[in-house]
Amino acid sequence: MTKDGRRRTGQRGETIAATWLQRHGYRILERNWRCPIGELDIVAEEQGVIVFVEVRTRTTVRLGTPEESVDARKRDKLRHLALWYLAVRHWEPRTYRIDLCAVYLDQTSQRAHVVHLPHAVEG
């Protein structure tokens, strides 16, 4: 898959994940929030808790599952991004968590399956 194709797949996965979260009672605050150290895919709120959601989308698990793709370095980066976001918004201290939405896309049927993992990254 080309770089452009991966980007489109990732964007589609983020849209699917955001829709899934909204249907399950989350309020989407921001998407693709950027700062000097990186990007947060989705920032949401659920029952007063700020939820930072990393979205990983796969059309095949040949190279591993979306869940497996969040390694120690990525978990550290997500923790730093969450704290940066809270500091910029002056929301410290505020209860937050970091979740993972694994989006599996079937290229043949164009169907998607979302696996939501709350607290996927400990803060």
> Is residue 69 pLDDT above 90, yes or no?
no
Predicted local distance difference test score (pLDDT) of residue 15: 96
* 15-22 contact pairs (CB < 8 A, 24+): 16/57, 16/103, 16/105, 16/112, 16/114, 17/41, 17/42, 17/53, 17/55, 17/101, 17/103, 17/114, 18/42, 20/101, 20/114, 20/116, 21/53, 21/101, 21/116
Full set of structural domains in the chain with CATH: 3-71+100-121 (3.40.1350)
Spatial distance between the Cα atoms of 16 and 2, rounded to a whole number of angstroms:
21
Task: Name the pTM for this structure.
Answer: 0.91
Quickly state the pLDDT bin for 84 (edges 50, 70, 90): very high
> 3-state class of 82 per DSSP?
helix
Residues 76-97 have a mean pLDDT of 93
For residue range 31-61, list pLDDT tens digits in order. Answer: 999 999 999 999 999 999 999 999 999 888 7
Quickly state the pLDDT bin for 9 (edges 50, 70, 90): confident
